[in-house]
Amino acid sequence: MSKFTLTASILKRNAEGQSAFVPYMMAGDGGLDVLHERISFLEEAGADAIEIGIPFSDPVADGEVIQEAGSRALRSGVTLRKVMSELQAQTHSIPLVVMTYLNPVLAYGLSDFVADCEGAGVKGLIIPDLPYEESGLLSDVLVGKDIALVPLISLTSSAERIEKIARTAEGFVYAVTVNGITGVRSGFGSDLMDHLTNLKRLSNVPVLAGFGISTPEQVRDFSPVVDGVIVGSAIVTAFHEGDLEKVKSLIQAGRPAVRQ
């Protein structure tokens, strides 16, 4: 059994011969009062973990759809502290992964943030603007905690850096499938599947593909190659438009997947 609940949840799905699915949602888009309702919906629809985005004024990794969702949340007064307080108010049975940027975490206080993550059932952290070389800033505070600091690996990283990050990854490897920011894509680079296959060979934890995956067809295309997928913009749009059937269809698209 993995030392991280987050990893175990993904491996459990894989052991069933299926691909894991991690939806992304923007906390506070539509109001904080619907946060738990949406988490429960995703849980019941079959998600294996949920990535919860925190609205931020300078979201360098986010595409237009997620930026707009963050702006809506910010206009309604949503902050990292308010989201953490809300998450602590109710428990859920699948791992929650908080995606935020470094400045809000530093303003919160590293120890206080990690303590509140524990109290909220958060099992993973994704911080896109925290370089691997400086990750000790947070990982040192996470020692002994069931909270994985999930690394992102980009397509432009050197082979040496990719191997170093993959070998030491916690939770899962977030394999970025495009050069650039998040958002809906119609297609992907021709050598992407080779890159993902190499990551799986190097990594001691599951490899999940994310950024730009937005249709059931794309979910099905990636599912045999990696251990799971992360879908963001399409989920955010579906929630904003009230299209819950689209959310369900995305989650179910990779199941059953033909695994190699």
Q: Which of 52, 35, 145 is nearest to 98 (CA)?
A: 52
Mode of pairing for the β-strands spanning 152-153 and 228-231 = unpaired
Helix, strand, coil percent content, the chain, rounded in steps of 5 = 45, 15, 40
31-42: average pLDDT = 96
Q: Which residues are catalytic?
A: 51, 62
For residue 24, pLDDT over 50 is answered with yes
Distance from C-alpha of 191 to C-alpha of 178, rounded to nearest angstrom: 11
Question: Would you say how long the chain is, in residues?
Answer: 260
The predicted-structure confidence for 133-178, as pLDDT tens digits, reads as follows 999 999 999 999 999 999 999 988 899 999 999 999 999 999 998 7
What does pLDDT average to over the chain?
A: 91
Nearest to 78 by CA among 127, 30, 128: 30
Contact 96, 52 (CB under 8 A): yes
Cis bond leading into 256, ω under 30°?
yes
pLDDT at residue 189 in the model? 56
Q: Is 120 helix (H, G, I), strand (E, B) or coil?
A: helix
What pLDDT, on the 0 to 100 scale, is given for residue 7?
Answer: 98
For the chain, the structural domain boundaries read 5-252
Model pLDDT, residue 258 = 42
Whether domain 5-252 has CATH 3.20.20.70 = yes
**pLDDT for 259 beyond 50:** no
3-state secondary structure of 16: coil
Q: Alpha-carbon distance 48 to 228, whole Å?
A: 9
